[in-house]
């Protein structure tokens, strides 16, 4: 299967920067503006603005990479630390040796400056190539020694050598003759390093979709444009000097933006969202606990009151068969209600204990049929239900608690309208299965409906444990729960919308038994 990879919202800003750089470069070269020669004083003034900006961008990369390295000990961050430090040093040396400062700097020399600039690329490409390893590569002492030798010893020593050498270490171009063979060799080497680094970052981003990989990829492309412009420049006082150096700064800027967003902004945003979610869940759990206590106290009070009344009736000593039957029926009803409350509370506790759960494909018709038989066992012929189109196999995403929803709703309907027939219909839509439960009787009170669909208010809610159980489980199944009142025929309707699932490879009844552990 082909992997899908797309740009995220923040990635488009980085892509826009790359496109602007590319368009600006082509426009500058095509218009001939890059070939305008500036006076040394004007060139020095512009560079005195650009150089601090470049060092600031590199400083940002250094600061946040160092912080992340201290916290997480990732090899990539260590490489970026050394990269940033060397870029700051090299930028300063570039400014010091620039021909525009010939009147004030003893190190200002065309060839020395071009040698320093060439060393830019020996920092850029290899450092990003080394950093272009997967995030799973851990920091080790061996890698630490390697990175330190490269970043703290090799590169700084080369910079000092290029800076202080009486003669240019190597000549990259000769005025009137063009680029030298050694410059071509260096350019080939640089292109190879850039190409390898680009390949690494492309596949790293494709695999992990991390912004830092994408930013490094775009930065390399931007720097490659800068290298190409510099390679064909013979006069350091041309406006092309400003263009390629500005493009180099933009490359560092892209990397700095990615470091800040990837290491600071996005983790903080994610953490804030997680804290908000957990806080909301905690508040909801607290409200549910208070609700459980309130409803439990209310139900137990009713049961105890019923039991007391039952015992008082028994204590009369009557021998009338009709009265004894009434006493027995009352006792059975009290026991059945107590058992149902225990079952519902036990199911809710089990639901809340499961932080992770897997929804399966279950035939909703089988679950309804199981609950129908249970209700008939409890209430006998008094329980009446008519159904339509529930014999067809319709599968929904649910688990072992699916029958608990129907048991809770059927019980509520029985208590609300004991003399009414329950009419059940199923509708098969494209992505959902809709279950309608319709029954006659008075409309359900407004405060109960508000409690069913609004935020739980433990001290104010009149929501029964039956409806609360259905509400919690429909939320678990990522379904919808609606209520309608039809004034014309005085009927109520609960509408349950389940997510449609594909057919299971188990038979319908076997699947229900398997999930319910039978």
Residues 194 and 108 in one domain: yes
Residue 260 covered by a domain: yes
The two three-digit tokens of residue 456, written as one number: 């739980």
SS3 424: strand
pTM above 0.85, yes or no: no
Q: How confident is the model at residue 243 (pLDDT cuts 50, 70, 90)?
A: very high
- Return contacts of 263-270, CB within 8 angstroms, 24+ apart: 263/64, 263/65, 263/67, 263/68, 264/64, 266/211
Write down the mean pLDDT value for the chain: 77
In a domain, 378, yes or no: yes
Q: Is the dihedral of CA 323, 327, 333, 334 positive or negative?
A: positive
Does any domain span residue 334? no
Q: Which of 276, 296, 318 is the last residue of a domain?
A: 276
Domains in the chain, number: 2
In a domain, 199, yes or no: yes
Are 271 and 359 in a shared domain?
no
**Across 447-465, average pLDDT:** 68
Summarised one tens digit per residue, pLDDT across range 479-498 is 888 888 888 888 999 999 99
pLDDT band at 97 (very low <50, low <70, confident <90, very high): confident
Do residues 55 and 120 make contact, with C-beta atoms less than 8 angstroms apart?
no
Instruction: Measure the CA–CA gap between 296 and 341, rounded to whole angstroms.
Output: 8
Do 409 and 266 share a domain, yes or no? Answer: no
CA distance 383 to 377: 9
Q: What is the mean pLDDT of residues 164-183?
A: 69
H/E run at residue 364? helix 364-379
- The tens digit of pLDDT for each residue in 100-135 reads 888 888 888 888 888 888 776 666 655 555 554 444
Q: Are residues 263 and 364 in the same domain?
A: no
| Residue 254, pLDDT above cutoff 80 | yes
Question: For residues 119 and 106, what is the distance between their CA atoms, to the nearest angstrom?
Answer: 20
Q: What is the CATH number of the domain that holds 453?
A: 3.30.565.10
Q: In terms of domains, do 418 and 271 share one?
A: no
d(CA 271, CA 277): 10
Whole-Å CA distances, 224 to 27, 132, 213, 229, 318: 17, 17, 17, 9, 103
Reported for 239-244, long-range contacts at CB under 8 A and 24+ positions apart, including other chains, are 239/28, 239/33, 239/34, 239/35, 239/36, 239/37, 239/38, 240/28, 240/34, 240/35, 241/43, 242/38, 242/43, 242/46, 242/47, 242/50, 243/25, 243/28, 243/34
Of residues 74 and 172, more confidence is placed in 74
How many helices and strands (H and E) does the chain possess?
A: 16, 9
Among residues 276, 308, 326, the one where a domain terminates is: 276
Domain end (from 276, 310, 341): 276
256: domain CATH number is 1.20.1070
CA gap 82, 72 in Å, rounded: 17
> Does some domain include residue 323?
no
Determine, yes or no, domain membership for 3: no
Mean pLDDT score, 222-244: 85
pLDDT of residue 23: 92
Q: What is the pLDDT of residues 272-301, one digit of tens each?
A: 888 887 787 777 777 767 766 666 666 666
Please write the tens of the pLDDT for every residue from 2-30. Answer: 445 567 777 888 888 889 999 999 999 99
pLDDT per position as a tens digit, 495-514? 999 999 876 544 444 444 43
- Overall average pLDDT of the 333-342 stretch: 69
Per-residue confidence (pLDDT) for residue 46, from 0 to 100? 92
Task: Answer yes or no: is 505 within a domain.
Answer: yes
**pLDDT tens digits for 358-382?**
888 888 888 888 888 888 887 777 7
Question: Do residues 85 and 222 share a domain?
Answer: yes
pLDDT value for 408: 86
Domain check: are 270 and 362 in the same one? no
Is 376 inside any structural domain?
Answer: yes
> What are the DSSP E strand ranges found in 288-401?
360-363, 385-388, 395-398
Range of the domain at 63: 16-276
According to the model, what pLDDT value does residue 516 have? 39
**Structure token pair of residue 321:** 């068969």
Per-residue pLDDT reduced to its tens digit, 385-441: 777 655 667 889 998 888 888 888 888 888 888 878 888 888 888 888 898 999 988
Cα–Cα distances in angstroms (integers) from residue 359 to residues 241, 409, 433, 515, in the given order: 63, 21, 15, 10
* Res 281: pLDDT: 72
Check whether 93 has a pLDDT greater than 50: yes
Based on the domain organization, do 262 and 371 belong to the same domain? no
The pLDDT score that the predictor gives to residue 302 is 65
């Amino acid at each position: 299967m082909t992997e899908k990879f797309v740009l995220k919202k923040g990635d488009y800003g980085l892509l826009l920067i790359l496109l602007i750089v590319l368009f600006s470069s082509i426009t500058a070269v095509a218009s001939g503006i890059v070939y305008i020669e500036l006076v040394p004083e004007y060139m020095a003034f512009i560079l005195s603005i650009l150089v601090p900006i470049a060092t600031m961008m590199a400083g940002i990369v250094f600061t946040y990479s160092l912080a992340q390295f201290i916290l997480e000990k990732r090899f990539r961050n260590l490489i970026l630390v050394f990269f940033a430090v060397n870029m700051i040093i090299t930028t300063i040396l570039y400014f010091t040796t620039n021909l525009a400062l010939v009147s004030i700097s003893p190190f200002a020399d065309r060839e020395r400056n071009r040698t320093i600039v060439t060393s830019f690329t020996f920092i850029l490409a290899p450092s990003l190539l080394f950093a272009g390893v997967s995030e799973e590569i851990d920091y080790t002492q061996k890698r630490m020694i390697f990175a330190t030798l490269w970043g703290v010893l090799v590169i700084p020593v080369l910079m000092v050598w290029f800076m202080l050498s009486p003669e240019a270490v190597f000549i990259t171009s000769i005025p009137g003759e063009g680029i030298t063979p050694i410059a071509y060799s260096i350019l080939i080497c640089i292109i190879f390093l850039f190409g390898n680094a680009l390949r690494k970052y492309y596949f790293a981003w494709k695999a992990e979709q991390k912004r830092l990989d994408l930013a490094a990829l775009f930065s390399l492309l931007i720097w490659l444009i800068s290298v190409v412009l510099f390679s064909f420049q013979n006069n350091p006082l041309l406006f092309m000097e400003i263009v390629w150096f500005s493009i180099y700064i933009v490359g560092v800027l892209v990397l700095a933006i990615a470091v800040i967003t990837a290491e600071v902004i996005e983790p903080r945003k994610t953490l804030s969202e997680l804290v908000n979610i957990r806080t909301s869940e905690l508040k909801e759990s607290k409200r549910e606990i208070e609700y459980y206590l309130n409803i439990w106290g209310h139900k137990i009070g009713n049961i105890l009151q019923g039991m007391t009344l039952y015992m008082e009736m028994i204590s009369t000593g009557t021998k009338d068969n009709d009265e004894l039957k009434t006493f027995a029926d009352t006792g059975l009803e009290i026991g059945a209600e107590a058992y149902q409350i225990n079952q519902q509370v036990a199911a809710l506790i089990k639901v809340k204990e499961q932080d992770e759960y897997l929804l399966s494909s279950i035939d909703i018709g089988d679950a309804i049929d199981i609950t129908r038989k249970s209700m008939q066992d409890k209430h006998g012929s008094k329980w009446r239900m008519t159904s339509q189109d529930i014999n067809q196999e319709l599968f929904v995403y649910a688990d072992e608690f699916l029958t608990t929803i129907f048991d809770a709703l059927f019980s509520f309907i029985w208590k609300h309208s004991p003399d009414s027939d329950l009419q059940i219909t199923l509708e098969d839509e494209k992505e959902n299965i809709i279950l309608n439960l319709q029954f006659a009787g008075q409309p359900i009170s407004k405060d109960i409906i508000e409690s069913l669909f609004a935020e739980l208010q433990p001290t104010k809610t009149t929501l029964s444990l039956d409806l609360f159980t259905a509400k919690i489980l429909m939320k678990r199944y990522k379904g919808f729960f609606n209520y309608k009142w039809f004034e014309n025929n005085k009927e109520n309707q609960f509408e349950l919308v389940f997510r449609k699932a594909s057919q299971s490879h188990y038979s319908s009844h076997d699947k229900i038994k398997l999930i319910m552990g039978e």
